[in-house]
Amino acid sequence: MTEAKLEAWLDEKRVFPPSESFVANANAKPSIYDEAKADPEAWWRKQAERLVWDKKPTSTLEWDLPNAKWFSDGTLNASVNCVDRHVAEGRGDKVAYYWVADADGESRTITYSELQKLVAKTANALVELGVKKGDRVAIYMPMIPEAVIAMLAVVRLGAAHSVVFGGFSADALSSRILDSDCRFVITADGAFRRGAPSPLKSAVDEALQSCPDVKTVLVVRRTGGDVHWVEGRDYWWHDVVDRQSDQHTPEFFPAEHTLFLMYTSGTTAKPKGIFHTTAGYLTQCAATYHYIFDVKPETDVLWTAADIGWITGHSYIVYGPLVLGATQIMYEGLPDSGGRDRWWRIVEQFKATVLYTAPTTIRTLMKWGDELPKSHDLSSLRLLGTVGEPINPEAWMWYRENVGRNNCPIVDTWWQTETGAIMITPLPGITATKPGAAMTPFPGISADVVDNEGNSVGNGEGGYLVITAPWPSMTRGIYGDPARFKSTYWDRFPGMYFAGDGAKRDEDGDLWLLGRIDDVMNISGHRLSTTEVEHALVGHPAVAEAAVVGATDDTTGQAIVAFVTLKLSAEDATKDQSHLVEELRQHVARVISPIAKPRQIILTPDLPKTRSGKIMRRLLRDVAENRSLGDVTTLMDPTVVNMISGLMQNEGTSED
């Protein structure tokens, strides 16, 4: 798209009305907004009817800020809701997953009745290995069907999974295992990335050196690579799972039984163990998936192109789609595994009807050119979604024109690990969309934009995004740290959930999300805290002090820029600074994950600080983004900033 064309669109304040085909057949009718507004609790009670219960709840919401309980006297089993009930209701032959491997041509089709047997076998295996109700089980796996099967088997037993993204380092894995006292780990020997095997089990071995309470590791053979083996601790999946009975009688658990933990970055170095419970979470995942993605389980083939190591994978590859009995594509590889048109070949081959992904991926696909999507038949697609970061209008328009061929509605969905499911979004068939705006709270959700004092701002004004009433899939807390839960989310504005995002209400009253207003960065849709990366950097023997900021980046949304001062001895010893910079980048990758590797590291003799000694990150962000520096009078040594600016300009940007 030319820039002139984009500008013309924006000048027109382009609005895309809902397409006729959706108006007629959409799951969402305009009346649902009124219905939910008139009685939100009754609305959510009705949504909870999508679940199968052992004992139906009579209660809806009990709210004692910040503690919510939803449907608390009901009992159910999450894996029965995802799998068994569909088989029992005669949909056993329906495809649950088309799994597509990293390698071209390799795929696997799993029906609901096959999934039921696999989950039952795995549950029996976990029982044999000693997993019990109330345990926590860490899952550190590539995007293979066994990851989903493991999740469902764990929750079937009333244990909670803690899925750790397979790209995280051994250190990150061990700190997550220790924080939630996991006694079991499920992993694979390795993963495939663009055809090449990369080890995973070795990171588990390393992590477990500091986790003496983990007594059992279940290992899927994926790559066939050599693995170190600890007899009595490590078990091959194929040895233990395959020989089990494919029948397993489930137990039922209270609605508020913990379902899973998901670690996410906050504003400190220590990630937060966000936990979710069963019925409210499943209710909102299913309701949002049904209305926002207009799911018709009979005919749709939906593709959430995310990793199950993140909340998007949990809610919209696993729980939402499965509760609805939908067919989901699960893809193991990278967007360019087997060529840059790989995604379009997958859409074409499986006739995907819905595609849900992150703006950063859309920008990457966009960079690879219009020809690739054009040369494939994408006519099966009828709806597109985006999540994870604000989407720039240009990427939105490219997605609409080149992937959606101008006739797929785009749902820009705002939500968080903490919210569990989508909160702010257009609805297909109802909302006239605007490129870059998430538009409207989902029915039953109350959101607002407030000023510093917590007062609602008017149209045309910006402020802080807050949620003003409890919702079913809200996190029930930070594992083991209720005080941090209260202070992080509920103390900033009394009575409201503080999301940490800036937002704007436009002249029509529609919502635009503007990104984080705290020290959380959003790199390619991945949440990382500045402190976490600083912590990793100062852990290197050569580093004295580090300040990290997220700077705007055309592809990744934000990129990490680190300002580092060296210890004197190290500085003296270091002849080749570019070598040291690279070593520091690798060090961060090792300590956290390759996704946390700074784009740029500036070695500087000093950092700009206020007179009270606080590092001025705002100013460093301005420097990193080449903005004018504004007021620097509170700085201890104003010359530091100019010096850093100069260093940045001499420094190239390191790209991988």
C-alpha closest to that of 534 among 577, 555, 493, 563: 563
We find the least distance from the C-beta atom of residue 496 to ligand WTA, in angstroms, to be 15
Give the residue, chosen from 116, 187, 312, 327, that forms a contact with ligand WTA under the rule CB under 6 A.
Answer: 312
Q: Which is nearer to ligand WTA, 413 or 565 (CB)?
A: 413
Give the residue, chosen from 416, 433, 530, 556, that forms a contact with ligand WTA under the rule CB under 6 A.
Answer: 416
By CB under 6 A, residue 553 contacts ligand WTA? no
Give the residue, chosen from 86, 527, 540, 597, that forms a contact with ligand WTA under the rule CB under 6 A.
Answer: 527
- 333: β partners: none
Q: Which is nearer to ligand WTA, 186 or 274 (CB)?
A: 274
By CB under 6 A, residue 98 contacts ligand WTA? no
C-alpha closest to that of 547 among 559, 526, 561: 561
Q: Which is nearer to ligand WTA, 513 or 548 (CB)?
A: 513
Structure tokens at 240: 């233990």
By CB under 6 A, residue 329 contacts ligand WTA? no
C-alpha closest to that of 548 among 561, 537, 565, 529: 561
By CB under 6 A, residue 513 contacts ligand WTA? yes
Q: How far apart are CA 34 and CA 288, in angstroms?
A: 17
Number of H helices, E strands in the chain: 24, 30
By CB under 6 A, residue 387 contacts ligand WTA? yes
Q: Alpha carbon of 396 to those of 180, 295, 362: distances in Å?
A: 39, 22, 8
Q: Which is nearer to ligand WTA, 250 or 320 (CB)?
A: 320
By CB under 6 A, residue 501 contacts ligand WTA? yes
Give the residue, chosen from 320, 388, 463, 608, that forms a contact with ligand WTA under the rule CB under 6 A.
Answer: 388
We find the least distance from the C-beta atom of residue 439 to ligand WTA, in angstroms, to be 10
We find the least distance from the C-beta atom of residue 565 to ligand WTA, in angstroms, to be 30
Q: Which is nearer to ligand WTA, 117 or 400 (CB)?
A: 400
Q: Which is nearer to ligand WTA, 137 or 423 (CB)?
A: 423
By CB under 6 A, residue 156 contacts ligand WTA? no
By CB under 6 A, residue 311 contacts ligand WTA? yes
DSSP state of 233: T
Over the window 253 to 282, marking each residue x when it contacts ligand WTA by CB under 6 A and - when it does not, the resulting string is -----------x------------------
Give the residue, chosen from 254, 321, 325, 500, that forms a contact with ligand WTA under the rule CB under 6 A.
Answer: 500
Over the window 589 to 608, marking each residue x when it contacts ligand WTA by CB under 6 A and - when it does not, the resulting string is --------------------
C-alpha closest to that of 556 among 337, 363, 353: 363
- At residue 510, the 3 state secondary structure works out as coil
DSSP state of 130: T
Binding range to ligand WTA, per CB under 6 A, among 102-110, 183-191, 384-392, 479-487: 384-392
Task: Show the beta-strand stretches assigned E in 518-556.
Answer: 520-523, 526-529, 543-553
- 163: β partners: 139
- At residue 183, the 3 state secondary structure works out as coil
Max CA-CA distance within the chain? Answer: 73
Give the residue, chosen from 414, 442, 464, 485, that forms a contact with ligand WTA under the rule CB under 6 A.
Answer: 414
Q: How far apart are CA 194 and CA 277, in angstroms?
A: 36
Binding range to ligand WTA, per CB under 6 A, among 76-84, 85-93, 149-157, 407-415: 407-415
Binding range to ligand WTA, per CB under 6 A, among 46-54, 445-453, 510-518, 597-605: 510-518
Total residues contacting ligand WTA by CB under 6 A comes to 23
CA angle at 533 for the pair 532 and 534, rounded to the nearest 5°: 90
By CB under 6 A, residue 390 contacts ligand WTA? yes
- At residue 235, the 3 state secondary structure works out as strand
Q: How far apart are CA 424 and CA 218, in angstroms?
A: 39
Give the residue, chosen from 327, 417, 475, 488, that forms a contact with ligand WTA under the rule CB under 6 A.
Answer: 417
Q: Which is nearer to ligand WTA, 417 or 604 (CB)?
A: 417
Residue 264: in which H helix or E strand, if any? strand 258-264
Distance of CA 618 to the CA centre of its chain: 26
Give the residue, chosen from 389, 448, 510, 519, that forms a contact with ligand WTA under the rule CB under 6 A.
Answer: 389
DSSP codes, 401-440: IIISTT-S-EEEEB--TTT-S--B---TTTPPB-TT--BS
Please list, in sequence order, all residues whose beta carbon lies within 8 angstroms of the beta carbon of residue 287, skipping any fewer than 6 positions away. 44, 47, 50, 421, 444
We find the least distance from the C-beta atom of residue 89 to ligand WTA, in angstroms, to be 30
Give the residue, chosen from 438, 466, 523, 584, that forms a contact with ligand WTA under the rule CB under 6 A.
Answer: 438
Q: Alpha carbon of 164 to those of 130, 311, 339, 627: distances in Å?
A: 21, 11, 28, 37
By CB under 6 A, residue 415 contacts ligand WTA? yes
We find the least distance from the C-beta atom of residue 160 to ligand WTA, in angstroms, to be 18
* Positions that interact with ligand WTA (CB under 6 A): 264, 310-312, 387-390, 412-417, 438, 499-501, 513, 515-516, 522, 527
